[in-house]
């Protein structure tokens, strides 16, 4: 039986003192659980988090990964560098990267490949904007985004984690209803099923403003296997409540 995964995405937040207080509070409140837990922190704090998370049962994640192995790519962080800090997961293709940094489906697919080649599990994000949803293009959009990743990584696609993050529900306080989220998760599951016979074992997370109040209902859907948590991951009680709901 696959475990659910709750991954906190701190985005561009944190500080040395804040990080230590948050991690210690989460670690102290984390009961033995039947779900996996991860924290995806900004790159400058990975060394600090590697130490803080040691022995906690919480995995370390990065928020991005370079599509390049090494070389003259100022500001980029390679998979090999992340591995040296014990990084287990890397978020790939988050909507904010697509929107603000112009990341294409092809770039996301290349980053996924680089993560997999280095033994890092990519959390591949897909999702539609409000305009795309209102135009009835939700399914078309998410299937196109995932298809690019499958095309490049088909031989090992079962090793990825997928995160459905409706762009209109990120940081807005809006959340897809459990039924809306499940509908898209089912579409993604079917697409993965066509690509690998291990699709039933793959995890598809929901990443659109999951919080302590709505987590249980969302996580109760048959194809929602966890959450990629934004703002609630910065508050220990809220994050712990989501983990408890998943467990």
**Does residue 231 have a known ligand-binding role?**
yes
CA distances from 242 to 78, 83, 212, 215, 223 (A): 31, 27, 5, 6, 17
Q: Does residue 13 have a known ligand-binding role?
A: no
Residue 127 labeled ligand binder: no
Is 66 annotated to bind a ligand? Reply is: no
Residue 166 CA: distances (Å) to CA of 88, 132, 139, 173: 25, 10, 11, 12
Catalytic residue among 134, 165, 179, 193: 165
Q: Which one of 94, 96, 103, 185 is the catalytic residue?
A: 94
Catalytic-residue membership of 94: yes
Residue 209 counted as an annotated binding residue? yes
Is residue 179 part of the annotated active site? The answer reads no
Q: Tell me which residues are annotated as active site.
A: 94, 165
Residues tagged in the binding site annotation: 9-11, 171, 209, 230-231
Residues tagged in the binding site annotation for substrate: 9-11, 171, 209, 230-231
């Amino acid at each position: 039986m696959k475990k659910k995964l709750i991954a906190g995405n701190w985005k561009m937040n944190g500080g040395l003192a804040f990080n230590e207080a948050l991690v210690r509070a989460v670690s102290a409140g984390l009961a033995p659980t039947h779900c996996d837990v991860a924290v995806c922190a900004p790159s400058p704090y990975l060394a600090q988090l590697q130490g803080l998370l040691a022995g906690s049962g919480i995995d370390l994640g990065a928020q991005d990964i370079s599509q390049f192995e090494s070389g003259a790519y100022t500001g980029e962080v390679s998979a090999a560098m992340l591995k040296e800090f014990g990084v287990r997961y890397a978020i790939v293709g988050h909507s904010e990267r697509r929107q603000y940094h112009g990341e294409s489906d092809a770039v996301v697919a290349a980053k996924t490949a680089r993560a997999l080649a280095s033994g890092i599990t990519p959390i591949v994000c897909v999702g539609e904007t409000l305009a795309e949803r209102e135009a009835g293009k939700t399914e078309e959009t998410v299937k196109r985004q995932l298809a690019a990743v499958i095309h490049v990584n088909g031989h090992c696609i079962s090793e990825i984690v997928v995160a459905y993050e409706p762009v209109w529900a990120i940081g807005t306080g809006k959340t897809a209803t459990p039924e809306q989220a499940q509908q898209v998760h089912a579409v993604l599951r079917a697409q993965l099923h066509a690509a690998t016979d291990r699709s039933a074992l793959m995890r598809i997370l929901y990443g659109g403003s999951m919080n302590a109040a709505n987590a249980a209902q969302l996580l109760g859907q048959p194809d929602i296997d966890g959450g990629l948590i934004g703002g609630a991951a910065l508050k220990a009680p809220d994050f712990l409540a989501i983990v408890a709901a998943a467990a």
